A and B are shown apart, each in its own frame.
Chain A
Amino acid sequence: MPDRVSRLPSTPTDLLRFRWPIFIALCCLIPFVVSDVWVQMLVFVGLFVILGLGLNVVVGFAGLLDLGYVAFFAAGAYTMGLLTSPGSPIDAHLSFWLILPLGILIASLVGLLLGLPVLPLRGDYLAIVTLGFGEIIRLFLINRDDLTRGSQGLSAIPRPELFGYEIDSFTRWYYFIIAAAVAVAFCTARLRDSRIGRAWEAIREDEDVAAAMGVNTTKYKLLAFATGAAIGGLGGVIYASFIGFISPAAFSLQVSIDVLAIVIIGGMGSTPGVIVGSLILIGVPRILQFRETSDLLANFGWLRDALNALLGAIDAVLPGSIGRLPAAETWGARLADDTRFIIFGALLVLVMVLRPSGLWPSSRRRLEFAHDEPPAPVNAP
């Protein structure tokens, strides 16, 4: 629709028109310049980009706050695991390419299963029920150990083959995940700019009025849940195959929160926002744990000594009140591990205060949060 484009604040230059192909091409070059750990990190980032785009449909487009998104991710992953892991009681040795659509289908059915009872709920109530739903799925996976092998999990999940090549190296996975993310981003963008997208947006704005304008709100809310769930299921199938091992521990509430934080920090309804959010929330903690990072931090031994001297001085005044900093090379890992959630929380608060529309909002949201400019004063002649 040309009108959406013309709303962009800058004039669309050729460069702007080709920004996505250029960005994707640049992404494809990355494995040639960085080591395997970086590529592995980016595979995880890509996976969360897919999940973020899926949740974006539910939360960003339709405005339905879903705190149980991990349930759909788990549905996809367990479809893959149960049908291919040698340890599974219903192992069928099916090909990845058969399970992919099956996992998507099952996840969207789980989405409908969640959607039907919560249809009349709005806002906070919806959030609470979806939160519970995510936990129920996880507990189901733990307790039905005759089927899912419970906490032991399912292992030796095979990898996909494409044109006779097994997708086994990180680089191959990286390209695979880029292809999947591009496909998902394309689909969600098309949905947003369609009649469906407008119906979702109308429901987000005012559900009663949307109904009065002829939008079947029941149908479109269920479609939002099912679409978001389908994308979550896709992510799950890919995840199970990539990691090769799944257990209920991987599908905790934390995943739902991570994905939601990605969407909110990046900017609701925005595709670039999801990418930026994933890089920060999924990429950065992993980078902090890299060998290269600790090698780099090892150079900061002097800073640690200086800070410890300071802490020692404070300790002299208030004995026993504080400890000492650990070795500088472990800072990255410590930061990524222990203090990650404090930093996440602080980041969320900061973003909400300073940039309520997210780090990279959609052009739409940018308009929404822009302050209305006062009319220019008319100078008397």
Chain B
Amino acid sequence: MTAAELVVDGLGMQFEGLTALADVTLRVPPGEIHGLIGPNGAGKTTFFNCLTGFYRPTSGAIYLSGQRIDGLPPHVITGLGIARTFQNIRLFANMTVLENVLVGEHQHIAVGGTDILSTRRPTYPPIVERLLVLRGFPRAALNGIIEIAGAVARPPRVRAAEAAAVDRARELLAAVGLRGRENDLARNLPYGDQRRLEIARALGTRPALLLLDEPTAGMNPQEASSMVGLIRRIRDEFATTVILIEHQMRVVMGVCESITVLDYGRKIAEGPPAAIQRNPTVIEAYLGTRAIQGGGHAAP
């Protein structure tokens, strides 16, 4: 897949009385590494959750390479090319490292039956939409039967698909530096490797846009700088656009080509790292004068 362009137009997310996101407009060109920063509770993760279909935005629109995706279910959005990692690592802890990546490859293992990947955006009230699902039911049931039959009989085509998926999973694991850990349980990996595995699993979905939620959280400076190298390499080798949420300023300023700053759910600034560092609104809202002068987030 080639890197995708992301356009977000007036995105709003309202939880009861709480406005998590308000009128966020953003354009990330294909192949850019884009930083998303802001104080805790600024709405960064909510923004990711809207992009991936975990939340249905209450206003605005999201376009991935021109196609409108807000309101689509998560697995469909993943199929269209958005993959993500999680702030609090959420691996399939009791599955092996290899199997974690294989789950990421789920939609790319041909097994006869295809998933219902209706990319139609819902236009009716939820209850009606749920009934409309039944329309596709006969086809889905047939696909299910074909998939089960394929898994049980395991014809050459299914074996080949499985073998190819395993090969690709091994490649991805090698790319993030997890060669040799394929058969370990995910939960037995050290912390930094778990973050790498999350990235490999996300790459398994063949993303055109990769969302990384604090990829260096809890890492020491050395690990963080190796993660920066990895993120650059991923963008180049796998041809993806990358958006990362990050708190370590050294990382943000080092890897991002452009940065968006959120505060209280609103976009307060956007621009290249150097401009953001000098932006008075950002300094006031988030970084604080001393942090900027220190050049790192742990400045005294």
When A190-B154, A201-B92, A219-B140 are in contact, do A213 and B115 touch as well, CB less than 8 Å? no
Chain B residues 177 to 209 lying within 8 A of chain A, measured CB to CB, are: 182-183, 185, 188, 201-202, 204-205
- A196 interface hit (Cβ, 8 Å): yes
Is residue B102 within 8 Å, beta carbon to beta carbon, of the partner chain? Answer: yes
Are A214 and B92 touching (Cβ within 8 A)?
no
What residue of chain B has the Cβ atom nearest to residue A226's Cβ?
A: B144
Chain B residue contacts of A187, Cβ below 8 A:
152
8 Å CB contacts to A: which residues of B126-177? 133, 140, 144, 147-148, 150-152, 154, 158, 162, 166
Question: Which listed residue, A3, A197, A209, A368, touches B151 by the CB 8 Å rule?
Answer: A197
B73 & A209 in contact (Cβ 8 Å cutoff): no
Chain A residues with CB under 8 A of B86: 209
Which of B106, B151, B182 interacts with A213 by CB under 8 Å?
Answer: B106
The answer to whether A209 and B92 touch (CB under 8 A), given A3-B98, A201-B99, is: yes
Question: Is the Cβ of B106 less than 8 Å from the Cβ of A223?
Answer: no
Q: Are A196 and B147 in touch, CB under 8 angstroms?
A: yes
Residues of A within 8 A of B216 (CB): none
Interface presence of B111 (CB below 8 A): yes
- Inter-chain contact B148/A198, CB cutoff 8 Å: no
For chains A and B in complex, what number of residue pairs have CB atoms within 8 angstroms? 118
A:196-232 near B, CB below 8 Å = 196-199, 201-202, 205-206, 208-219, 222-223, 226-227
Which residues from chain B contact A304 at a C-beta distance below 8 Å? Answer: none
B69-80 interface code vs A (CB 8 A; 1 in, 0 out) = 000011100110
CA–CA, A195 to B104, complex, Å? 11
A191: which B residues are within 8 A, CB to CB? 148, 151-152
Asked if A7 is an interface residue, CB under 8 A from chain B, the answer is yes
B93 part of interface (Cβ distance < 8 Å)? yes
Q: Contact: A205 with B92, CB < 8 Å?
A: yes
Q: Which residues of B contact A151 (CB under 8 A)?
A: none
How far is B186's CA from A364's CA once the two chains are assembled, in angstroms? 12
Q: Give complex CA distance A190, B201 in Å.
A: 23
Could you tell me the dominant secondary structure of chain B's interface residues? helix
CB distance from B133 to the nearest CB of A (A): 8
Contact (Cβ within 8 A) B102 A198: yes
The CA of A250 and the CA of B294, in the complex, are separated in Å by 76
- Which residues of A lie under 8 Å from residue B183 when comparing CB positions? 3, 6-7
A333 nearest CB across to chain B (Å) = 42
A312 CA / B148 CA spacing, docked (Å)? 64
- Whether the pair A211, B151 counts as a contact (CB closer than 8 A) is no
For A199, the chain B residues whose CB sits under 8 A away are 103, 106
What separation, in Å, do the CA atoms of A57 and B36 have in the docked complex?
42
Across the interface, do B205 and A214 meet the contact criterion of CB distance under 8 Å?
yes
- CB-defined contacts of B99 to chain A, threshold 8 Å: 3, 198, 201
List chain A residues, Cβ under 8 A from B290. none
Q: Min CB distance, B83 to chain A, in Å?
A: 8
Cβ-closest chain B residue relative to A208: B54
Chain A residues within 8 Å of B109, by CB: 195
A183 (CB) vs chain B CBs: closest residue: B152
Interface size class of B (residues with CB under 8 A): 35 or more
Cα A212 to Cα B107 in complex, Å, equals: 11
Q: A190-B154, A214-B79, A223-B144 are in contact. Are A7 and B103 (CB under 8 A)?
A: no
Q: Name the residue on A nearest B93 (C-beta).
A: A205
Task: Say yes or no: A196 contacts B95, CB within 8 Å.
Answer: no
Residues of the B chain whose Cβ atoms lie less than 8 Å from the Cβ of A146? none
Give chain B residues whose Cβ lies under 8 Å from the Cβ of A364: 94
Q: Which of chain A's residues have a CB closer than 8 A to the CB of B285?
A: none
B96 at the interface (CB under 8 A from A): yes
CB contact list, A167-192 vs B, under 8 A: 186-187, 190-191
- Asked if A372 is at the interface of the complex by the 8 Å CB criterion, the answer is yes
Which residue, of B52, B74, B111, B201, has the highest number of chain A Cβ atoms within 10 A?
A: B74
Q: Is the CB of B103 within 8 A of A210?
A: yes
A284 vs chain B, min Cβ distance (A): 31
Q: CB of A1 within 8 A of chain B?
A: yes
- Assuming the contacts A1-B162, A195-B111, A212-B74, asked whether A205 and B95 have C-beta atoms less than 8 A apart, the reply is yes
A190 touches B75 (CB 8 A): no
Q: Does A299 contact B (CB under 8 A)?
A: no
Q: Does B233 contact A (CB under 8 A)?
A: no
Task: Specify which of A195, A205, A208 is in contact with B162 (CB 8 Å cutoff).
Answer: A195
**A-side contacts of B95, CB under 8 Å:** 198, 201-202, 205
Identify 13 residue pairs between A and B in the complex whose beta-carbon atoms are under 8 Å apart, listed by A's number.
A6-B183, A199-B103, A201-B94, A202-B106, A208-B54, A211-B73, A213-B104, A215-B75, A215-B103, A215-B106, A216-B116, A223-B148, A367-B94
- B contact set with A: CB distance below 8 Å: 52, 54, 73-75, 78-79, 83-84, 86, 90-96, 98-99, 102-104, 106-107, 109, 111, 115-116, 133, 140, 144, 147-148, 150-152, 154, 158, 162, 166, 182-183, 185, 188, 201-202, 204-205
Q: A205-B93, A364-B94 are in contact. List 11 more A-B contacts (CB 8 A).
A: A3-B96, A190-B154, A194-B158, A196-B147, A198-B102, A199-B103, A202-B92, A205-B94, A213-B202, A215-B103, A216-B75
Q: Kindly list the 10 A-B residue pairs having the minimum CB-CB distance in the complex, ordered from nearest.
A: A194-B151, A214-B78, A205-B92, A211-B74, A214-B107, A202-B103, A190-B152, A368-B94, A209-B90, A216-B75
